[in-house]
Amino acid sequence: TKVSAPFRLAIVGSGPAGFYTAHRLLKEWPNTTIDMFDSLPVPHGLVRFGVAPDHPEVKNVMSTFDRVAEDDRFRFLGNVTIGKNISIKELQNNFDAILLSYGASEDRKMGILGEDTYGVESARSFVGWYNGHPNYRNLQLPLDDTDTAVVVGQGNVALDIARILLSPIDQLRKTDITEYALETLSKSRIKHVHVVGRRGPVQVSFTSKELREQMALPGVQFNADMDYIKKEIAESQAIISKNRPLKRLMSLLEKGSPTKQADKSWTAQFLRSPVEVLKRADENRVKGIKYEINRLEGPLDQRKAVGTGEHESQECGVILTSIGYKSVPIEGIPFDTRQGRVPNKFGKIVQDDKELDGMYTSGWLKRGPTGVIVSTMTDAYETADTIVDDLKNGKPMLKPTHDDITELLRERHVQSVSYKDWKKIEAAEFDMGKKLGKPREKFSNVQDMLAVL
Ligand code: FAD
């Protein structure tokens, strides 16, 4: 019998979106080979560089990704940036199809006066810093020079940040948080963290598990205007009673936390939109933040924050903005700047409503930068199913003229990192971790990672 040539797919990005699409496709269309690229020598995207160090159970998905990578039909090429080392056009010359799953590598900005003052950082930088992302390891924040931090945003990432800032340092020592972050956090004087949102308590986007954990932090008192919270919850019963997760979340918020022996606190603050970062008189340093006070308008399930024209200022020395990530376009691929994603139908990339042969997307780049790993998985499976349908229906794919991208990499002196190489890097991280009594100590710069090989 004649063996037909395998379907050859390039995947750009090794986060959950890339891995789960690969997982499903290898199962549903066995005659497939996959080359997966990542700009970093180390895989797993935000599972490694986003998920909080004190949530190790969330990172168990890495073992699923390991199993995918062990498959003979799969190859990892880390340390290769698509759009820089290799262009989309070149990928199109080398593969039958391309899956773009490179996530969201920038931040949304507040767009206010003083945003570039020393002491203001994005969630992405701060989280990347404590998690050892090579781009953020040199972050500087005046944590030893103030007792108050403001976190702008009310999602799970905002709570991750508040929790890391307020957790007892000995609790963090047992996690895979980087040593340099531990060192800086151990000198931190932050005692009060304000988690600020522009709308009300019913509109927060964190979830019950994270809120419960926040309320239970030892030595940390919860503060909020409880009368306002109760009033909003009472007025929104029509939507809360129909939504079980929201109902659970609201009852946690309403309950607050018992009064503790606490010298630290976190505050949930509502109806505040930052309008200006206030600076010290003689220095480019944060002194506080100025808000416009909002009121809520519109139907219960679509509450909007509307400015009242009244303002309020608050003193703080650090401001961390957790208002969302942002995907960036890549040359040669359509991009919807308004929605911040690649236009697609069930994962197939479309341009002016026309499907592009052999071009697919999944994950945050496909949906916009929201959703947890499980929703990213569901979404990746949808894209894999679209690819399989196209293959079954004999839809046209790309028309490659070459079949080994490694030639091009060699020509350009790009040292790609295989999954076996990554496992060596990881083994070295486990070794360093063992000596420090933690699960792993991450390498936080690319030279150190490559030096292991
Ligand atoms: P990513 O995970 O971002 O992966 C994208 C990959 O593409 C990266 O490895 C990147 O290096 C690579 N890349 C980018 N550009 C290029 C390029 N040009 N060439 C090659 N490679 C490139 N979900 C949970 O379920 N639980 C949690 O506790 C949790 N915590 C989170 C904490 C934070 C701070 C954040 C931001 C998210 C968290 N999430 C959590 C959500 C989860 O991380 C995402 O749903 C998921 O990672 C999205 O997957 P993705 O593959 O689309 O993107």
Q: Could you state, in order of their start, the residue ranges of all structural domains in the chain?
A: 7-105+327-417, 106-325
The atom number, within ligand 1, closest to the CA of 373 reads 25
Find, among 282, 298, 288, the residue nearest to 236 by Cα.
298
C-alpha torsion angle, residues 247, 252, 256, 257 (rounded to 10) = 170
Count CB-CB contacts under 10 A for residue 273.
20
Question: Beta-strand (E) ranges in 244-395?
Answer: 264-269, 272-279, 286-297, 304-315, 318-321, 325-326, 344-345, 348-351, 354-361
ipTM attached to this prediction:
0.99
The atom number, within ligand 1, closest to the CA of 13 reads 7
- Is-same-fold flag (7-105+327-417; 106-325)? no
Instruction: Pinpoint the alpha helices (H) of 295-394.
Output: 364-367, 373-392
Q: Evaluate: CB of 18 within 6 angstroms of ligand 1.
A: yes
pLDDT of residue 260: 79
In the reported structure, the alpha carbon of residue 104 is separated from the centroid of ligand 1 by a whole-number distance in angstroms of 7
Find, among 127, 108, 45, 56, the residue nearest to 78 by Cα.
45
CATH (one of 3.50.50.60, 3.20.20.10, 3.20.80.10, 3.55.40.20) for 106-325: 3.50.50.60
Q: Which H or E run contains 92?
A: helix 88-92
In the reported structure, the alpha carbon of residue 325 is separated from the centroid of ligand 1 by a whole-number distance in angstroms of 10
Q: Evaluate: CB of 373 within 6 angstroms of ligand 1.
A: yes
pLDDT of residue 261: 83
Beta bridge partners of 326: 106
Summarize pLDDT for 27-59 with one digit per residue, the tens: 999 999 999 999 999 999 999 999 999 999 999
pLDDT of residue 180: 98
Distance of alpha carbon 391 from alpha carbon 397, whole angstroms: 9
> Which residue among 20, 46, 381 has the greatest number of ligand 1 atoms within 8 angstroms of its CB, and so is best to mutate?
46
pLDDT of residue 257: 86
pLDDT per 10-residue tile (average), the chain, 453 residues? 86 98 98 98 98 97 98 98 97 98 94 97 97 97 97 98 97 97 98 98 97 96 96 97 97 90 95 98 95 97 97 98 95 94 98 96 96 96 98 97 95 97 98 97 97 95
222 within 8 A of 253, measured Cβ to Cβ: no
Q: Evaluate: CB of 53 within 6 angstroms of ligand 1.
A: no
Q: Evaluate: CB of 142 within 6 angstroms of ligand 1.
A: no
pLDDT of residue 1: 56
pLDDT of residue 2: 63
42 within 8 A of 78, measured Cβ to Cβ: yes
pLDDT of residue 166: 98
305 within 8 A of 293, measured Cβ to Cβ: no
Q: How far apart are the first and last CA of the chain?
A: 42
CA 379 to chain centre: 16
Q: Evaluate: CB of 55 within 6 angstroms of ligand 1.
A: yes
In the reported structure, the alpha carbon of residue 25 is separated from the centroid of ligand 1 by a whole-number distance in angstroms of 20
In the reported structure, the alpha carbon of residue 387 is separated from the centroid of ligand 1 by a whole-number distance in angstroms of 22
* CATH superfamily name and code, 7-105+327-417: NAD(P)-binding Rossmann-like Domain (3.40.50.720)
